[in-house]
Amino acid sequence: GQNIDQPTEMTATEGAIVQINCTYQTSGFNGLFWYQQHAGEAPTFLSYNVLDGLEEKGRFSSFLSRSKGYSYLLLKELQMKDSASYLCAVRDSNYQLIWGAGTKLIIKP
Amino acid sequence: NAGVTQTPKFRVLKTGQSMTLLCAQDMNHEYMYWYRQDPGMGLRLIHYSVGEGTTAKGEVPDGYNVSRLKKQNFLLGLESAAPSQTSVYFCASKSPERENTGELFFGEGSRLTVL
């Protein structure tokens, strides 16, 4: 079966750096996505990786290793507004998105 | 900028009742999707559409029907609601031109409770 694993919950301190990991086992691979979802709100697109390596976008970076079936989302200079769930999703060989259950990130002052 | 709009935002149903969730997007997107989100689980695709007049089944289609009579609207119907359909439902849309980035635009969600 297809599977996406992410930690359920993480806690970090305002101003610090946090890394959220995602491992996947899917039928084929056509890209990996990260979305942010604040409580009670819609998911919003953060990043996309299809080749190995690091994609940087402001305070957020996303890394992919296809051979290891692994990605991480790196958040720098954490702000209180970064408290949210972070969803990892993989597009499989049928171009369908398989979603992880999400990682709830709690930021403490 | 409305984006993707879902109605209603909240609804409580009794087992066996029917209802329709409406999704409207004003971005001229071809692709539209209905997902459900349950605690401890990833988003699961119910049905999707790649254009006006077309629909297809997703991962969990049983108990739901959909229609895409107009490009901007995608309706999700529950003919006979069951408690297992208690969930938060999200509509999303995507332009084919953004296929590489895969960016989905989501509505704010519809919280459905079936008693």
DSSP line for A13-30: ETTS-EEEEEEEE-SS-S
Mean pLDDT across B15-43: 95
- Do A87 and A73 meet the contact criterion of CB atoms below 8 Å apart? no
Residue A1, pLDDT score: 74
Q: Chain B: nearest CA to A108, how far in angstroms?
A: 23
Q: What percent of chain A has pLDDT over 70?
A: 100
Chain-wide mean pLDDT for chain B? 93
Residue B95, pLDDT score: 82
Q: What percent of chain A has pLDDT over 90?
A: 93
> CB burial class (10 A; 0-12, 13-18, 19+) of residue B39?
exposed
Provide the 8-state DSSP code for A102: -
Q: Per-residue pLDDT tens for A1-16?
A: 789 999 999 999 999 9
Among A106, A98, A109, which Cα is nearest to A39's?
Answer: A106
Mean pLDDT across B99-106: 79
Residue A2, pLDDT score: 85
Q: Chain B: nearest CA to A29, how far in angstroms?
A: 13
Residue B112, pLDDT score: 97
Q: What share of chain B is helix, strand, coil (3-state, %, to 5)?
A: 5, 45, 50
Q: Tokens in use for B3?
A: 């984006």
Quote the Cα angle for B81-A102-A79, to 5°.
125
As a dihedral over the C-alpha atoms of residue B2, residue B6, residue B9, residue B11, rounded to 10 degrees, the angle is 160
Nearest to A100 among B4, B42, B59 (CB): B42
Among B25, B63, B26, B30, which Cα is nearest to B44's?
Answer: B63
Residue A59, pLDDT score: 96
Q: Which residues of B touch A (CB under 8 A)?
A: 4, 40-45, 58-59, 90, 100-109
Q: Per-residue pLDDT tens for B73-87?
A: 999 999 999 999 999
Question: Where residue B96 falls among pLDDT bands split at 50, 70, 90?
Answer: confident
A17 near B CB under 8 A:
no
Among A33, A20, A35, which Cα is nearest to A107's?
Answer: A20
Question: Where residue B38 falls among pLDDT bands split at 50, 70, 90?
Answer: very high
Instruction: Work out the number of other CB atoms within 10 angstroms of the CB of residue B69.
Output: 9
Q: Is the pLDDT of residue B2 over 80?
A: no
Q: Is the pLDDT of residue B98 over 60?
A: no
CA A16 to CA A33: how far, in whole Å? 23
Among A31, A18, A1, which Cα is nearest to A83's?
Answer: A18
CA B96 to CA A109: how far, in whole Å? 42
Q: Is the pLDDT of residue B99 over 60?
A: no
Residue A73, pLDDT score: 98
Residue A10, pLDDT score: 98
